[in-house]
Amino acid sequence: MSIEISAKSITPVRLAYGNLQQRFGDKKPASRYQEAVYDIQPTANFQYRPLWDKNHDIYDVSKTAIVMEDWYSFADPRQYYYGSYTIARAKQQEVAEHNFAFVDKRDLFDAVPEAVKQAVRDVLIPLRHVEWAANMNNCQITDECYGSNFSSVAMFNAMDRLGMAQYVTRIGLLLDGNEETTLDAAKQAWMDAPQWQGLRHAIEDMFVLDDWFELMVAQNFVLDGLVFPLLYDRFEKKLTQEGGSTVAMLTEFMDDWYQETVRWTNALAKVTAKESTENQALLSSWVSKWMDRLSIALEPIAIEAFGDDGANELVEVKAELLDRLAKQGVTV
Amino acid sequence: MPAKKLNLRKRYELLTRGMGWETTYQKMDDVFPYDSFEGIKITDWDKWEDPFRLTMDSYWKFQAEKEKKLYAVIDSFAQNNGQTNLACASYLSAIKLFITGVTPLEYGAHRGFAHLGRHFRGDGARIACQMQAIDELRHAQTQVHTISHYNKHFSGLHDPFHQFDRVWYLSVPKSFIEDAMSSGPFEFITSISFAFEYVLTNLLFVPFMSGAAYNGDMATVTFGFSAQSDESRHMTLGLEIIKFMLEQHEDNLPIIQRWMDKHFWRAYRLLGLVAAMQDYMLTNSPMSWKEAWEVYFVENGGALFEDLSRYGLKMPKYHELATAEADHISHQIWSVFCSLGNATGFHTFLPTEEKMAWLSEKYPDTFDKYYRPRFEYWAEQKKAGTFEYQKGLPQLCQVCQIPMVFTEVQTDPMQISYRVTEHGGDKYHFCSDGCKDIFEHEPEKYVQAWLPVHQIYQGNCGGPTLPEVLDWYKFKPEDSGDYIGSKDYHRWQEWKGADKKVKQA
Amino acid sequence: MSDKKNTVFLILQDNEDARPIIEAVEQDNPDANIQYQPGMVRMEAAGRLLVNRVTVEENLGREWDVQELHLNLISLGGNIDEDEDKFEISWR
């Protein structure tokens, strides 16, 4: 029966939803990505103002100083919607799970020199708090942003950061046979040790930023653009040379994640800067403000991680980031 | 050194707590500025316990598995033209109402829970809200994907999000979600997680999805049931948060009781649309609205409130009225849609003889007495060609925004229920004491309401004539009116012409 | 209704994956009422309903993570207690 019907050709009366026809034409079906992220957020005729913010509508373009003619002019190069996102992450977590199990089963940490383990405790494990903050900040962006493409990508990023905070925590547990000593020490350092206070202070100031796009710049452009290359890439390579390749197995997720994520932050920077000279100027001023603040904050951690080379490593990472942002049209 | 074994509870605790910290460079009250103005007192956020201990890695793993299954069905549905296996194309009115009225609620919940996921002070509660925020995004996206295939073959599904912001009957769900979203975080979660999801969502999803299965709509069944697996987590969050708030401080009880009363009534009124969907739009209904109400509210809801009575929480105000109305609302709301069928984005149709027999059986006290005569009268008029749609626009309730169609079911079921109150020198109209109470408690909120009928009269909706308004809605001429004779109808006949078993609405 | 315990319920999709779970519920909760409805299976019991990991594993012939229950879960009513060995729904 169904074969018979399929054999008769059933011609569609239209190929895509109206909003997508308007954006992309009516000649071909829309992609799953397009269907999932475009125009779902309400834009008009809001019923009530939020009790805590009488100056804004529930969704309001004026929650940031950035002005876009069309908030949907940015597209995620990865084309993530929930399904493709979770399936991609499930694959990565399978690898991570395998690596964690392998390290655990073979007691691979036993073979890692104590100095390397201590470096992991001192430098990597406190990053669980940094990822935790990144989770909060991206959740803030999901809350405040404009447009369903934006909220979708920010939401995925927020959950990624929770996942990575949990992976860092598991490294801490694995180091100590599931005792909490390392986690407790890392928290202590995060709260009190002088080398972490500049960063913690900067992050707490990010928590109270008014403009969600500035937060986007501070967190996802600048802080991530410094921390991931510096600590998950360069520092991991140093540890590997010193006999700590086991650690690199456990942070592979973060490394892959960052390589992937840079693609959408680049795309976002490019589209936003290209929109207007005002946007470009705002982005530049935010990048410059947070680059100064965060590179100073990260210096003691760079020194902890790399010793005498620390300052130089940080300068290189900073230069790479500025260069990358300049390619997207954000010059400082 | 052999590693200490961690049980699920301890492992979860280590992976969700202790990563947050008491801020010192900024005041905690500035970092979390929204969790105290509602008056809810939380003395110890660490007492919050998650019933489901999902870490992100497990979340990705399980959700990806659900997604793979779901998209396999969606793909095969499209490849095999699964739409031809429906009981009848008239069934799609339910799907049209669903994507225009329910899918946007999922998106609103996504943003609302993201707000809580950032702004609750407790780490555990934040994570639970974030997981719900991403789940709700999932639901919006999977619904758009599933219904996409129907949009390619039928009318009325082409511009759901444009319509949600404008159409007269869609302001019912829009005002519902925006009411919750414009409230503080504790009220939002009481509204959405408890009043809507725990107490009432089963009435939306379970009978409706079962109804989809019953009418050959395998695509909707699949996304619906797949979403329900998340929904079970959400319902449990709703129950946990209520218990948590009640346990934290005795002063919380009266606030929660009031929110419960308010949002139960808001959500219940919204579900009036579902009642009509279930009893009338489904070609074959596996369960009547009244039966669903008995099982999911009276019985299961009763058990829930009995459990909560130890905290002093009572059944929501006017629940007896809601139960009494179960005999009436689906008929009343479907009548409104039929009488304004030239201005709906889905097709209306009068119940067939077979359907009316079923309604008589399911509603022995009311259908034959009050509603059958109306449908039969309209049927005669249609036959004689004298049927006319209602002229003029209906008056809407200031709070639920449903036209004034509900009646005094406990005293005189033929008498329309009207309530009025004055505020700031103006008169405001309501469908019920429940809606009037809500207004009177927060008049400054509800005077802001964007009431579609007022807006049309004020000229804010495309123009003064019906065609102009419908054009502003992006309703195409083939979207509205009777199913019989519509483009959908003819297309269905073309596919099914040879099939004698086809039922006609 | 007040002389007996309130009903708890668990609804699963009616599919192959859910079969061993439904069978385990039948085995471990002899008084449970099991109803097959379009697309789904509703299991109810007075006061308490238990899904036991060991029983599901026996039916399934492999290891089973209690959290796999979520894959086929449609709805439930009652307080939840989930750990690595069981999934329990109850009204106190």
Q: Which of B7, B8, B225 sits opposite C39 (nearest CB)?
A: B225
Q: pLDDT digits over A37-61, tens only?
A: 999 999 999 999 999 999 999 999 9
Mean pLDDT of A70-96: 97
Write down which chains contact chain A via at least 3 CB pairs under 8 A.
Answer: B
Q: Which contiguous run of DSSP H or E holds residue A82?
A: helix A82-105
Determine the Cα–Cα distance for residues A32 and B83; give it in Å rounded to an integer. 19
Please give the Cα distance from B66 to A79 (Å, whole number).
20
List subunits contacting chain B, requiring 3 or more Cβ pairs under 8 Å.
A, C
Domain limits at C40?
7-90
pLDDT band per the 50, 70, 90 thresholds, residue B498:
low
pLDDT digits (tens, 9 = 90+) for B67-109: 999 999 999 999 999 999 999 999 999 999 999 999 999 999 9
- Cα angle, residue B47 at apex, residues B45 and B50 outer, rounded to 5°: 100
Nearest CA in chain B to A96: B57
A vs B, Cβ pairs < 8 A, gives: 260
Res A213 pLDDT > 90: yes
CATH class as words, domain A82-327 = mainly alpha
Q: Is the ipTM of this complex over 0.90?
A: yes
Task: Give me the mean pLDDT over the B453-459 stretch.
Answer: 94
- Give residue B492's pLDDT band: very low, low, confident or very high (50, 70, 90): very high
Residue B503 has pLDDT above 70, yes or no: no
Residue A309 clears pLDDT 70, i.e. is over it: yes
Note the helical H segments in B89-217.
92-101, 103-119, 123-153, 160-164, 171-181, 185-189, 201-214
Print burial letters for B241-268: b (CB count within 10 Å at least 16), e (below 16).
bbbbbbebeeebeebbbbbbbbbbbbbb
Maximum CA extent, chain A: 76
Res B3: pLDDT = 67
pLDDT of C4 reads 67
Q: What is the model's pLDDT at position C2?
A: 45
Report the Cα B313 to chain-centroid distance in Å: 24
pLDDT one-digit tens code per residue, A9-48? 789 999 999 999 999 999 999 999 999 999 999 999 999 9
Structural domain includes residue C1: no
Give the span between the Cα atoms of B148 and A317, in whole angstroms: 45
Contacts 24+ apart (CB under 8 A), B477-482: B478/B155, B479/B155, B479/B156, B479/B345, B479/B346, B480/B341, B480/B342, B480/B343, B480/B344, B480/B345, B480/B347, B481/B341, B481/B342, B481/B347, B481/B348, B482/B341, B482/B347, B482/B348, B482/B349, B482/B382
User: How many Å lie between the alpha carbon of B493 and the closest alpha carbon of chain A?
Assistant: 13
Encode chain C in three state secondary structure.
CCCCCCEEEEEEECCHHHHHHHHHHHHHCCCCEEEEECCEEEEEEECEEEEEHHHHHHHHCCCCCHHHHHHHEEEEECEEEECCCEEEEECC
Residue B90 and residue B103 in contact, taking contact as beta carbons nearer than 8 Å: no
One-character DSSP codes across A18-38 = HHHHHHH-SSSPPPHHHHHHS
Q: What residues contact C17, with CB distance under 8 A and at least 6 apart? A: C71, C72
Residue B224 pLDDT class (50, 70, 90 cuts): confident
Pairing relationship of beta strands C86-90 and C79-82 according to DSSP bridges = antiparallel
Residue tagged 């940080």 (tokens): A314
| Band of residue B267 on the pLDDT scale cut at 50, 70, 90 | very high
| % of chain A with per-residue pLDDT over 90 | 95
Residue C91 at interface with chain B, using a CB cutoff of 8 Å? yes
- CA–CA dist B340, B336 (Å, integer): 6
Nearest Cα to Cα of residue B361 among B273, B276, B279: B279
Q: Residue B407 pairs with which residues in a beta bridge?
A: B416
Q: What mean pLDDT is predicted for residues C45-71?
A: 93
Mean pLDDT of C60-81: 91
A5 — pLDDT class (breaks 50, 70, 90): very low
pLDDT of A1 higher than 70: no
Mean pLDDT of the region A89-106: 96
Is the per-residue pLDDT at B10 higher than 90?
no
For the cut 70, the answer to whether the pLDDT of residue B49 exceeds it is: yes
Take residue A299 and report the two structure tokens written for it: 């210096």
Question: Does a structural domain hold residue C15?
Answer: yes
**So what's the pLDDT on residue B478?**
97
Q: Is A104 exposed, middle or buried (0-12, 13-18, 19+ CB in 10 A)?
A: middle
Mutation test of the interface with chain B: which of A9, A15, A17, A171, choosing the one with the most B Cβ atoms within 10 A? A17
| In this structure, CATH architecture of domain B29-37+69-78+90-492 | Orthogonal Bundle (1.10)
d(C-alpha A184, C-alpha A125), whole Å: 10
Q: Please state, in angstroms and rounded to a whole number, the distance separating the CA atoms of residues A268 and A225.
A: 14
Q: In chain A, which residues have their Cβ closer than 8 Å to the Cβ of B115?
A: 143
- Find, among C4, C8, C18, the residue nearest to C69 by Cα: C18
Q: Please give the DSSP secondary-structure letter assigned to residue B482.
A: B
Residue B15 in tokens: 């992976």
Q: Which residues contact B387 (CB under 8 A, 6 or more apart)?
A: B378, B381
Decide: A and B in contact? Rule: 3+ Cβ pairs under 8 Å.
yes
Domain count of the fold of chain C: 1
* 8 Å CB contact of B228 and C67: no
CB atoms within 10 A of CB B372: 18
The answer to the question of residue C2 being in a domain is no
Is the pLDDT at B161 greater than 90, yes or no? yes
Cβ pair A51:B182 closer than 8 A: yes
Q: Which residues of B301-322 are buried (b: 16+ CB within 10 A; e: fewer)?
A: bebbbbbbeebebebbbbbebb
Among A258, A122, A141, which Cα is nearest to A194's?
A122
| Domain of residue C17, CATH code | 3.90.56.10
Compute and round to an integer the Cα radius of gyration of chain A.
22
Band (C3; pLDDT cuts 50, 70, 90): low
CB B122 within 8 A of CB B35: no
Q: Does B80 sit within 8 Å of A2, measured CB to CB?
A: yes
User: In this complex, which of A96, A159, A201 lies closest to B25 when CB atoms are compared?
Assistant: A201
Distance CA B343, CA B335 (A): 13
- Asked whether residue A218 carries a pLDDT value surpassing 90, the answer given is yes
User: With an 8 Å Cβ cutoff, are A49 and B182 in contact?
Assistant: yes
Cβ-based neighbour number of residue B460 at 10 Å:
14
Asked whether the predicted pLDDT for residue B365 surpasses 60, the reply is yes
Distance separating the N- and C-terminal Cα atoms of chain C: 15
